[in-house]
């Protein structure tokens, strides 16, 4: 439909569902409820049109095949009421009862509830109680006592709705690719509201399962981490004790019989099934524990920014690109967990939106994204509070990485994933702007002298002539001038840094190109200046040895070493 299929679900009480459909609604929004289509309109009681008809009569009429089967067979059919709300978009035109009837007929045929020309199909009705939507209710026992084939009914209904949108001139939605998460059912949403929960149980569990992934290295650790976080886990194991599957439950989530409700990982999200979790975690096992990397010269925040460069070079191969985009979501999650409190809301919203972009039908070559996954693990295990410039640099890199991920999805016609990257980008850009603001202010306060600024402006015009005017007129130019002056004082060439930074990210789409260059050049200028004399000596050497830069000739070095009783081999 031009709006959406709100999801199909199986319920156990036909009479109770009818009471909702014909009732006033939770905010008196149900007006003139009545049947617009059904399996056999002749003789069907309609409480909305016949004052003598009752909801009990209608439920009895629809449930007749169910009662007959339950009386003849030992195993009772319990969840037998199939419910599918269908809603038009707000901008769609008004649809008459006859048009809604045609739409309902096409949907039950696509779902397998009532195939075309099947006289023994399930009993069903479509109830309209508002201008913009209908509810389809069917009992899932056929007239011959068999059960309908409803597996993947949501996929088939979605395909039918795309055709309906085209035929009726409604707003057209994007075609699904079977990698999205299941929509919350009406029952789950009502339960969450009744219990005062902000999220339904599957949504609440998904957020915590994704938050766990950067902390663990295998499936067993994943299960243990979830349990430590208060999530109840029901593991399925083979005779050898090997983990074969798992399901998770939210504390306090029980059914009407007081039994704990568990959700299989793959039902919560396709990429949270046990095989997918194992593939992701086992592909990025570190050779050393993250705490052993604490003494590295750069911080985990800088290492993560370095790791993002691997995504830029691996988008040409689809399997590697999908692996990097999946791991990018894990790095986003790790960053959100360790970022300062004032940035976490936007970063968590970015993670939630980007989770849809992590999945596609392309099989990921998970081992290709090892650098990103290790960077995420380093952040959650070893990072303390980041300094402002390091965090701003990482967030700027994440913004550009998400832009690249969105472009890749667009090129592959992954409509839902491309939308997800755009949503994530809005939140991530807001966090990056907030993180960069104090850094820019500090840099602008140290703006170099006018003569130095004019010289650096000449470097800008020579290095990036097409964008020079935008950069020099950008409010962040004083901060960029300070960064360039600092880099030059460290031995770097501003002209070369500008060219390299512009080559790494094109500036045509940048809102403020000077801001983009600040983070990139700060990141690049952390690296030591290349030792060109030593490199030239290494290339000339026939033995492959090379000497470190020194003002002392080699014979004098050797003589000094002998005189001091040391090994005569020159030090690197």
Same domain, 131 and 199: no
- Secondary structure (3-state) at 483: helix
Q: Which pair of structure tokens corresponds to residue 285?
A: 């096992």
Distance of CA 405 to the CA centre of its chain: 11
Asked, for residue 33, whether it belongs to a domain, the answer is yes
pLDDT of 570 > 70? The answer is no
pLDDT of residue 181: 86
- 132 to each of 64, 91, 94, 100, how far by Cα in Å? 31, 10, 7, 10
Among 282, 305, 326, residue at a domain's last position: 282
Give pLDDT tens digits for 230-265.
999 999 999 999 999 999 999 999 998 899 999 999
Beta bridge partners, 124, equal 138
| Cβ neighbour number for residue 463 with a 10 Å cutoff | 20
How many domains does the structure of the chain reveal?
4
What does the pLDDT read at residue 42?
67
- Among 59-68, 187-196, 550-559, where is mean pLDDT lowest? 550-559
Residue 17 lies in a domain: yes
Counting beta carbons within 10 angstroms of the beta carbon of residue 483, is it exposed (0 to 12), middle (13 to 18) or buried (19 or more)?
buried
Residue 155 lies in a domain: yes
128 & 245 share domain: no
CA distances from 354 to 83, 343, 401, 425 (A): 30, 17, 12, 9
Whether residue 456 sits in one domain with residue 405: no
Q: Is residue 548 part of a domain?
A: no
Residue 43 near residue 104 (C-beta atoms within 8 A): no
Residue of 179, 182, 183, 161 lying closest to 171 (CA atoms) = 161
In whole angstroms, what is the distance from residue 382 CA to residue 290 CA?
Answer: 7
Residues for the chain: how many in total?
572
Residues 108, 8 share a domain: yes
Rounded CA gap, 188 and 303, in Å?
Answer: 42
Confidence of residue 4 (pLDDT cuts 50, 70, 90): low
The answer, yes or no, to whether residue 555 has pLDDT greater than 60, is: no
Domain check: are 272 and 340 in the same one? Answer: no
Both 386 and 250 in a single domain? no
User: What is the pTM (predicted TM-score) of this model?
Assistant: 0.74
158 in the same domain as 14? yes
416 plus 456 within the same structural domain: no
SS (H, E, C) 358-414: CCCCCCCCHHHHHHHHHHHHHHHHHCCCCCHHHHHHHHHHHHHHHHHHHHHHHHCCC
Report pLDDT digits (tens) over 44-53. Answer: 889 999 988 9
Q: Which of 402, 420, 444 is the last residue of a domain?
A: 444
Q: How confident is the model at residue 209 (pLDDT cuts 50, 70, 90)?
A: very high
Angle at CA of residue 316, ends 311 and 176, nearest 5°: 90
Same domain, 75 and 143: yes
What is the DSSP track for 183-250? PPPHHHHHHHHHHT-SS-HHHHHHHHHHHHGGG-SSHHHHHHHHHHTT-EEEEEE-TT--EEEEEEE-
Q: Is residue 541 part of a domain?
A: no
pLDDT tens for residues 298-314? 688 888 988 987 777 77
Residue 58 maps to a domain: yes
Which of 422, 444, 466 is where one domain is finished?
A: 444
pLDDT, tens digit, 9 for 90 and up, residues 96-146: 999 999 999 999 999 999 999 899 999 999 999 999 999 999 999 999 999
Mean per-residue pLDDT, 454-476: 92
Confidence at residue 359, expressed as pLDDT on a 0 to 100 scale: 92
**Based on the domain organization, do 302 and 440 belong to the same domain?**
yes
Asked whether residue 537 is domain-assigned, the answer is no
Q: Do 241 and 370 sit in the same domain of this protein?
A: no
Query: Each residue of 72-90: pLDDT tens digit?
Result: 776 788 889 999 999 998 8
Determine phi and psi for 534, rounding to 5 degrees: -65, -40
- pLDDT band of residue 6 (cuts 50, 70, 90) is low
Same domain assignment for residues 393 and 460 = no
Domain interval for residue 217: 186-282
- What is the pLDDT of the chain when averaged over all its residues? 85
């Amino acid at each position: 439909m031009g709006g959406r299929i709100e999801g199909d679900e199986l319920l156990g009480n036909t009479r109770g569902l009818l009471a909702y459909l014909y009732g006033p609604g939770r905010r008196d929004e149900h007006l003139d409820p009545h049947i617009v289509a059904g399996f056999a309109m002749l003789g069907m009681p309609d409480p909305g049109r016949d004052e003598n008809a009752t909801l009990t009569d209608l439920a009895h009429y629809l449930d007749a095949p169910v009662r007959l089967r339950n009386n003849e067979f030992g195993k009772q059919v319990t969840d037998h009421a199939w419910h599918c709300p269908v809603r038009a978009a707000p901008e769609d035109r008004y649809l008459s009862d006859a048009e809604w009837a045609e739409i309902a007929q096409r949907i039950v045929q696509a779902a397998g509830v009532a195939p075309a020309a099947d006289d023994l199909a399930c009993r069903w009705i479509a109830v309209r109680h508002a201008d913009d939507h209908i509810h389809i209710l069917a009992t899932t026992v056929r007239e011959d006592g068999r059960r309908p084939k409803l597996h993947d009914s949501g996929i088939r209904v979605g395909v039918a709705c795309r055709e309906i949108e085209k035929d009726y001139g409604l707003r057209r939605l994007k075609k699904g690719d079977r990698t999205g998460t299941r929509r919350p059912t009406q029952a789950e949403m009502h339960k969450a509201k009744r219990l005062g929960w902000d999220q339904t149980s599957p949504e609440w569990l998904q957020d915590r399962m994704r938050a766990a992934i950067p902390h663990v290295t295998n499936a067993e650790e994943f299960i243990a981490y979830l349990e430590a976080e208060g999530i109840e886990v029901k593991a399925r194991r083979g005779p050898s004790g090997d983990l074969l599957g798992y399901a998770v439950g939210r504390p306090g989530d029980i059914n009407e019989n007081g039994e704990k409700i568990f959700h299989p990982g793959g039902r919560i999200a396709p990429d949270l099934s046990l095989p997918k979790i194992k593939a992701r975690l086992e592909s990025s096992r570190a050779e050393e524990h993250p705490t052993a990397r604490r003494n590295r010269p750069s911080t985990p925040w800088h290492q993560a920014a370095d790791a993002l460069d691997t995504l830029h070079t691996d988008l040409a191969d689809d399997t590697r690109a999908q692996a990097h985009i999946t791991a990018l979501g894990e790095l986003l999650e790790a960053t959100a967990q360790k970022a300062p409190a004032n940035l976490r809301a936007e970063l968590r919203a970015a993670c939630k939106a980007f989770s849809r972009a992590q999945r596609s039908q392309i099989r990921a070559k998970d081992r290709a994204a090892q650098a990103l996954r290790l960077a995420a693990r380093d952040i959650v295990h070893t990072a303390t509070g980041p300094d402002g410039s390091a965090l701003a640099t990482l967030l700027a890199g994440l913004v550009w990485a998400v832009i690249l991920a969105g472009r890749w999805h667009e090129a592959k016609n992954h409509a839902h994933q491309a939308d997800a990257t755009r949503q994530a980008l809005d939140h991530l850009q807001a966090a990056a702007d907030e993180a960069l603001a104090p850094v820019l202010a500090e840099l602008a306060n140290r703006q170099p002298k006018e003569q130095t600024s004019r010289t650096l402006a000449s470097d800008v015009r020579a290095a990036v002539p097409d964008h020079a005017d935008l950069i020099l007129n950008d409010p962040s130019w004083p901060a960029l001038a300070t960064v360039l002056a600092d880099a030059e004082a460290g031995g770097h060439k501003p002209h070369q840094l500008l060219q390299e930074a512009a080559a790494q990210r094109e500036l045509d789409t940048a809102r403020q190109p000077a801001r983009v260059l600040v983070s990139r050049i700060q990141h690049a200028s952390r690296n030591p200046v290349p030792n060109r004399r030593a490199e030239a000596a290494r290339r000339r050497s026939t033995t492959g040895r090379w000497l470190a830069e020194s003002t002392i000739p080699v014979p004098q070095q050797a003589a000094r070493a002998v005189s001091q009783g040391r090994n005569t081999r020159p030090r690197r």
